[in-house]
Amino acid sequence: MIRKWLGAAFLALLTLAYGVAADAQTLVLKGGTVYATPEAAPLADAVIVMSSGAITAVGPASEVQIPPDARMIDCTGKTIVAGFWNSHVHLTEAVWKNAAEAPAASLTAHMQAMLTKWGVTTVWDLGSDPTDGFALRKRINAGEVLGPNIFFAGSIFPRDGHPIYLPPEMQLPEAATPERAEHLARSYMQMGLDGLKLFTGVFKGEDKAVVNMDAAIAKAGVDVVHAWVKPAFAHPQNRAGVDAVIAAGADVMAHTAPGANYTAEQLERFKQQNIALIPTLSLFAKLPIPPEISARLVDSAVQQLKAFSENGGKVLFGTDVGFTKLYDTTTEYELMHRALRGSQVLAALTTNPAGYFKATSKGRVQQGFDADLVILDGDPIADVRNLAKVAVTIRAGQVIYQKP
Ligand SMILES: [Zn+2]
């Protein structure tokens, strides 16, 4: 009885503490230039007010009332855009092991080095240990660890589909039949994962053939997650892998597939089926291969991105970070800019993923939207490299990274 009462009292105190904290945490950004969306005209000398995780006001300094007790960040000379999505990451590094018990400070520090220092407020993890992932997400959502909003996708590999770049002892979920793919996809959904990642093509090594997944097997997995209204990502690797994406009805290509330009027919199907593309160009730029081969892969991937985008396809920013140790996003922006305008690169980070994944309160700096914002040192439309020059990252109205 006493314990019950103590529990209730503790809860009441906690509620009180949070109530007070929420008021004290009304956050105001003052003096910066705001891009509400990538295509919108910039608003100079703006004021943004955030409270309880949402944007409560945005407008010119002359029109927005600043609450007297708010915490203020002076943004003079800075540019403010919506929080970035990295739609292809892996929380697989050793630092995430035992995420339930690991010290919060070390988890926050690595989130900053890998993601939030680069303006990232939402990620899609396309393959990791869900035990650690769920624990990490819980601690982030409780405000104990500072990090992004995380979505998880569970993987399915084809038979004999162990990629050469993953440790041979690693146990991977392979599906040799549609029934097996259906079973795996259903178990991921029941486990609480947010999507599926199919390897419709697997790289086995320079001298070996790519192993592709039968479209019927891929489709069995896709149908399950679509019934749960969740997206299916796919790693295509080659032209047959791209065809399997189309035939299976998967939603997002997790990479370009350098070496095989998209055919006119593939481009037409991308449009019909609303298939999105994550280019991961810097991944190909930083592979441990001779520079002239890497340059050829990058050129081919840039061509694919260009053809895809000019065809009207939705491009989603993603780097495969966690698999690659390249945390700095500058190269990805420079390479994307070879195929896209600056505003299109910003859209791939903000409005495109929010729209594609139906996150209706994300992707814009607008009243009523989530207070996920990035304060940049320079204008990203004038120079895309400024997208990597992050002064402050804010998620749900809380500063999760601030440049020292
Ligand atoms: Zn990946």
The pLDDT of residue 16 is above 90 = no
Distance of CA 390 from the midpoint of ligand 1 (Å): 24
pLDDT at residue 288 in the model: 85
Residues 15, 16, 17, 21, Cα dihedral to 10°: 100
The pLDDT of residue 304 is above 70 = yes
Count other C-beta atoms under 10 Å from residue 145's C-beta: 24
Distance of CA 235 from the midpoint of ligand 1 (Å): 8
CB-count burial class (<10 Å; 0-12, 13-18, 19+) for 383: middle
Domain assignment present for residue 346? The answer is yes
Distance of CA 37 from the midpoint of ligand 1 (Å): 28
pLDDT of 47-92, one tens digit each? 999 999 999 999 999 999 999 999 999 999 999 999 999 999 999 9
Residue from 165, 130, 167, 171 nearest 150 by CA: 130
CATH code assigned at 120: 3.20.20.140
* Residue written as token pair 């092991």: 97
pLDDT of 242-252, one tens digit each? 999 999 999 99
Domain assignment present for residue 122? The answer is yes
Top pLDDT among 20 and 244 is at 244
pLDDT at residue 296 in the model: 94
Average pLDDT over residues 367-381: 98
Q: Do residue 70 and residue 88 come from a single domain? A: no
DSSP 8-state code for residue 321: B
Mean pLDDT of the chain: 93
Q: Can you point out the beta strands (E) in 75-194? A: 79-82, 84-89, 120-125, 149-158, 174-175
Distance of CA 269 from the midpoint of ligand 1 (Å): 24
Which pLDDT band holds residue 189 (cuts at 50, 70, 90)?
Answer: very high
The pLDDT of residue 1 is above 70 = no
Distance of CA 382 from the midpoint of ligand 1 (Å): 30
pLDDT at residue 5 in the model: 44
Q: Do residue 333 and residue 380 come from a single domain? A: no
Q: Do residue 157 and residue 76 come from a single domain? A: no
Which pLDDT band holds residue 32 (cuts at 50, 70, 90)?
Answer: very high
Distance of CA 86 from the midpoint of ligand 1 (Å): 11
Average pLDDT over residues 244-269: 96
Q: Do residue 11 and residue 58 come from a single domain? A: yes
287, 248 contact by CB (below 8 A): no
Average pLDDT over residues 135-162: 96
CA–CA dist 243, 389 (Å, integer): 38
Which pLDDT band holds residue 14 (cuts at 50, 70, 90)?
Answer: very low
Token pair recorded at residue 124:
């899609």
The pLDDT of residue 193 is above 50 = yes
Residues 84, 114, 400, 149, Cα dihedral to 10°: 60
Domain assignment present for residue 394? The answer is yes
pLDDT at residue 282 in the model: 97
Q: Do residue 58 and residue 155 come from a single domain? A: no
Instruction: Spell out a b/e string for 98-111, using b for 16 or more CB atoms within 10 Å of the CB, else e.
Output: ebeebeeeebbebb
381, 39 contact by CB (below 8 A): no
Q: Do residue 19 and residue 101 come from a single domain? A: no
Distance of CA 337 from the midpoint of ligand 1 (Å): 22
pLDDT at residue 10 in the model: 46
Q: Do residue 255 and residue 386 come from a single domain? A: no
Distance of CA 237 from the midpoint of ligand 1 (Å): 12
Distance of CA 153 from the midpoint of ligand 1 (Å): 11
Q: Do residue 138 and residue 263 come from a single domain? A: yes
Q: In percent, how much of the chain has pLDDT > 70? A: 94
pLDDT at residue 149 in the model: 98
Q: Do residue 277 and residue 188 come from a single domain? A: yes
Average pLDDT over residues 254-269: 95
pLDDT of 354-372, one tens digit each? 999 999 999 999 999 999 9
For the chain, give the number of residues.
Answer: 404
pLDDT of 36-45, one tens digit each? 999 999 999 9
Count other C-beta atoms under 10 Å from residue 136's C-beta: 22
Question: Which helix (H) or strand (E) covers residue 232, if one does?
Answer: strand 232-235
Domain that holds residue 390: 2-81+366-402
Distance of CA 161 from the midpoint of ligand 1 (Å): 15
Distance of CA 220 from the midpoint of ligand 1 (Å): 22
Q: Do residue 275 and residue 311 come from a single domain? A: yes
Domain assignment present for residue 24? The answer is yes
Distance of CA 125 from the midpoint of ligand 1 (Å): 8
CATH code assigned at 396: 2.30.40.10
Strand 149-158, strand 84-89: pairing? unpaired
Distance of CA 283 from the midpoint of ligand 1 (Å): 10
Report residue 224: phi and psi, to 5°.
Answer: -65, -50
The pLDDT of residue 17 is above 80 = no
The pLDDT of residue 24 is above 60 = no
356, 314 contact by CB (below 8 A): yes
Q: Do residue 98 and residue 202 come from a single domain? A: yes
pLDDT at residue 260 in the model: 83
pLDDT at residue 287 in the model: 86
Q: In percent, how much of the chain has pLDDT > 90? A: 91
Distance of CA 132 from the midpoint of ligand 1 (Å): 17
Domain assignment present for residue 361? The answer is no
Average pLDDT over residues 276-294: 93
CA–CA dist 300, 62 (Å, integer): 49
Distance of CA 323 from the midpoint of ligand 1 (Å): 6
CA–CA dist 153, 399 (Å, integer): 27
The pLDDT of residue 398 is above 60 = yes
Q: Do residue 273 and residue 319 come from a single domain? A: yes
